[in-house]
């Protein structure tokens, strides 16, 4: 015997049945529409949403992150909500700890994020939650978390500096007055490094069909266009454009095709060269995974993770040094003390040993301080799974995008004190020893359960490059007083790069 709504409905005469069916469908569609509208609030006319939609913020601020910083500073809780994006943004360390650690399970990357970056990152570690994330994290941790990993990373970085970076910069120094884009140099350097470290392959030696610069361009474009999807007031727009293969979505598809070619080439080469005895990340994954598409996704996530972040960190570091010769001098003095001074012949020991590097607290402090003001990942979003209330009292509705904002956090007086805008490495030193702060106050490498796996490697790379260049060269930034503006992307990239003139040091 049948009970309930279906029994009742079937016992009605046919015209009523049709009427009832139409009513149900219309009601469901209307509810769905109202639900979507409530989520994206495209009509919201509050001052912040109006400014976002019309981009009127740009008349006062160079970068979106500067405008958000301004709003977050004004907010008594350090949290704001952009209705049109259904996005809660916070610069409050207690909230950050809640999202990234205490209620980690309630704040996954979520399906919307996966959709936005899905075409580029697929099922790579950056773009997944749950079991797939756990599996990749465990595998990658074996590689990146091992005790010997820092010295292994150090070896690769040192050889890259000695055999490529220094010769390249020396040849530029020889052509006096020649302008060089240091950001571009750092991106190429980091790309070589991350490939050697993660895949055991040197892009300089790969038998590629495409030159690296083709790949670079395609990779940049794909990252930029993917990030722009996240900034759209409604996801429906880019999804429609993708279905119709129009405009930026068409360009994104073409760029991803080129990126895919390189990844395929890398996997093919690794197979040809053998992977069973290799220690690199790709070989480890190849031992367990047969699916080339999955391997491609893993490869791309690590490229995104390792290339642009280190290059971005180094670019802002050298831009800040150009305005703070006293910091550069303090780094030189420290390195002279630890490594010995530059000899009479002008030849300096360019590369420090791994142990020497660990003794250079001021250098470490300067790098942390530089990323406080210019974090390579300026903001990062999660999605709220179930209704929740943040420690500062902000209610978060299920389905809301929740963003913690390292860029704004580095510029909050309530976190860093009255000199928060000053580039001051000393704030990281206690009795001359580097002393870190809570990662929830400084989530530059994220924090909690998904904390960056490449942090130590990144720091080793940045310190090695910094010390080698500072000891050997004088680097003049062409426009030191021009504040950086950033190209939208997954990591902070300075529009126009970092043009510099390089000369060999004489003192």
Across the beta sheet with 179-181, the strand order is: 179-181, 499-504, 473-477
Q: In the complex with ligand HEM, which residue's Cβ is closer, 173 or 406?
A: 406
Burial of 353 per CB tally in 10 Å (0-12, 13-18, 19+): middle
Judged by CB under 6 A, which of 99, 169, 377, 494 binds ligand HEM?
377
Residues 25-61 as b or e (16 or more Cβ within 10 Å = b):
eeeeeeeeeeeeeebbbeebeeebbebbeeeebeeee
Q: In the complex with ligand HEM, which residue's Cβ is closer, 149 or 173?
A: 149
Compute how many other C-beta atoms are within 10 angstroms of the C-beta atom of residue 150: 17
What's the first-to-final CA gap in the chain, in angstroms?
Answer: 97
Judged by CB under 6 A, which of 88, 106, 283, 309 binds ligand HEM?
309
CB of 434 to ligand HEM, least distance (A): 16
Say whether residue 126 binds ligand HEM (CB under 6 A).
yes
The residue range among 10-18, 163-171, 286-294, 298-306 that interacts with ligand HEM, by the rule CB under 6 A, is 298-306
Say whether residue 310 binds ligand HEM (CB under 6 A).
yes
Cβ(505)–Cβ(335) below 8 Å:
no
Q: In the complex with ligand HEM, which residue's Cβ is closer, 180 or 444?
A: 444
CB of 33 to ligand HEM, least distance (A): 31
Say whether residue 454 binds ligand HEM (CB under 6 A).
yes
Q: Which two tokens stand for residue 406?
A: 């390292």
Say whether residue 374 binds ligand HEM (CB under 6 A).
no
Q: In the complex with ligand HEM, which residue's Cβ is closer, 88 or 309?
A: 309
Say whether residue 306 binds ligand HEM (CB under 6 A).
yes
Q: Is 452 annotated as a binding residue?
A: yes
How remote is the C-alpha of 165 from its chain's centroid?
24
Q: What are phi and psi of 96, to 5 degrees?
A: -60, -40
Restricting to residues 172-211, which ones interact with ligand HEM according to CB under 6 A? 194
Restricting to residues 428-447, which ones interact with ligand HEM according to CB under 6 A? 444-446
Q: In the complex with ligand HEM, which residue's Cβ is closer, 334 or 380?
A: 380
Max Cα–Cα distance, the chain, nearest Å: 104
DSSP β-bridge partners for residue 433: 430
The count of residues interacting with ligand HEM (CB under 6 A) is 23
Q: In the complex with ligand HEM, which residue's Cβ is closer, 57 or 428?
A: 428
Q: Which two tokens stand for residue 52?
A: 């976002």
The residue range among 178-186, 301-309, 320-328, 463-471 that interacts with ligand HEM, by the rule CB under 6 A, is 301-309
Cβ contacts of 458 within 8 Å, gap of 6 or more: 306, 309, 310, 313, 445, 452
**DSSP code of residue 380:** E
Decide the pairing of beta strands 401-404 and 87-90. parallel
Q: In the complex with ligand HEM, which residue's Cβ is closer, 201 or 339?
A: 201
Q: In the complex with ligand HEM, which residue's Cβ is closer, 120 or 348?
A: 120
Contacts 24+ apart (CB under 8 A), 293-299: 293/122, 294/122, 294/123, 295/263, 295/267, 296/122, 296/260, 296/263, 296/264, 296/267, 297/121, 297/122, 297/123, 297/124, 297/127, 298/124, 298/125, 298/136, 299/124, 299/198, 299/199, 299/263, 299/266, 299/267
Restricting to residues 131-170, which ones interact with ligand HEM according to CB under 6 A? 137, 140
The residue range among 85-93, 307-315, 341-349, 412-420 that interacts with ligand HEM, by the rule CB under 6 A, is 307-315
Judged by CB under 6 A, which of 405, 450, 463, 472 binds ligand HEM?
450
CB of 96 to ligand HEM, least distance (A): 12
Cβ(117)–Cβ(153) below 8 Å:
no
CB of 125 to ligand HEM, least distance (A): 5
Which residue ranges make up the annotated binding site for heme? 452
Annotated binding site: 452
Residues that bind ligand HEM (CB under 6 A): 125-126, 137, 140, 194, 302, 305-306, 309-310, 313, 376-377, 380, 444-446, 450, 452-454, 457-458
């Amino acid at each position: 015997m049948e009970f309930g709504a279906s029994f009742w409905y079937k016992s009605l005469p046919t015209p009523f049945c049709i009427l009832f069916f139409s009513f149900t469908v219309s009601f469901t569609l209307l509810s769905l529409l109202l639900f979507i509208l409530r989520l994206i609030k495209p009509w919201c006319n509050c001052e912040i949403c109006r400014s976002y939609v019309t981009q009127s913020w740009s008349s006062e601020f160079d970068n979106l992150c500067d405008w958000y910083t301004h709003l977050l500073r004004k907010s008594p809780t350090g949290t704001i909500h952009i209705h049109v994006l259904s996005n809660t943004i916070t610069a409050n360390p207690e909230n950050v700890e809640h999202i990234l650690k205490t209620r980690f399970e309630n704040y996954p990357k979520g399906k919307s994020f996966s959709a936005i970056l899905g075409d580029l990152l697929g099922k790579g570690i950056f773009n997944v939650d749950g079991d797939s994330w756990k599996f990749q994290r465990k595998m990658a941790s074996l590689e990146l978390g091992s005790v010997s990993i820092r010295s292994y990373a150090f070896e690769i970085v040192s050889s890259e500096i000695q055999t490529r970076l220094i010769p390249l910069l020396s040849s530029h120094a020889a052509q006096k007055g020649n302008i060089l884009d240091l950001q571009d140099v750092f991106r190429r350097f980091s790309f070589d490094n991350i490939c050697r470290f993660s895949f055991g392959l040197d892009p300089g030696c790969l038998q590629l069909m495409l030159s690296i610069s083709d790949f670079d361009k395609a990779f940049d474009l794909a990252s930029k266009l993917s990030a722009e999807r996240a900034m759209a007031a409604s996801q429906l727009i880019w999804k429609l454009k993708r279905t119709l293969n129009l405009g930026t979505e068409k360009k994104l598809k073409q760029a991803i095709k080129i990126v895919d070619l390189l990844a395929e080439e890398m996997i093919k080469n690794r197979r040809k060269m053998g992977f069973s005895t290799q220690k690199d990340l790709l070989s480890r994954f190849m031992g367990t995974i047969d699916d080339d598409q999955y391997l491609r996704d893993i490869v791309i996530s690590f490229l995104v993770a390792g290339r642009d972040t280190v290059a971005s960190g180094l670019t802002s570091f050298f831009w800040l040094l150009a305005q703070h010769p006293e910091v550069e001098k303090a780094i030189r003095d420290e390195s002279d003390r630890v490594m010995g001074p530059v000899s009479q012949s002008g030849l300096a020991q360019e590369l420090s040993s791994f142990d020497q590097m660990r003794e250079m607290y001021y250098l470490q402090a300067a790098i942390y301080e530089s990323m406080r003001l210019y974090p390579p990942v300026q903001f990062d979003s999660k999605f709220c799974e179930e209704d929740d209330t943040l420690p500062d009292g902000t209610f978060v509705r299920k389905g809301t995008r929740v963003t913690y904002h390292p860029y704004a956090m580095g510029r909050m007086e309530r976190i860093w004190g009255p000199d928060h805008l000053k580039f001051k490495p000393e704030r990281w030193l206690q009795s001359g020893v580097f002393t870190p702060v809570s990662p929830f106050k400084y989530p530059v490498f994220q924090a909690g359960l998904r904390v960056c796996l490449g942090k130590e490697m990144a720091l080793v790379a940045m310190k090695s490059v910094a010390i080698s260049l500072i000891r050997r060269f004088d680097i003049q930034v062409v426009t030191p007083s021009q504040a950086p503006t950033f190209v939208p992307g997954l990591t902070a990239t300075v529009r126009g790069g970092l043009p510099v003139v390089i000369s060999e040091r004489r003192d």
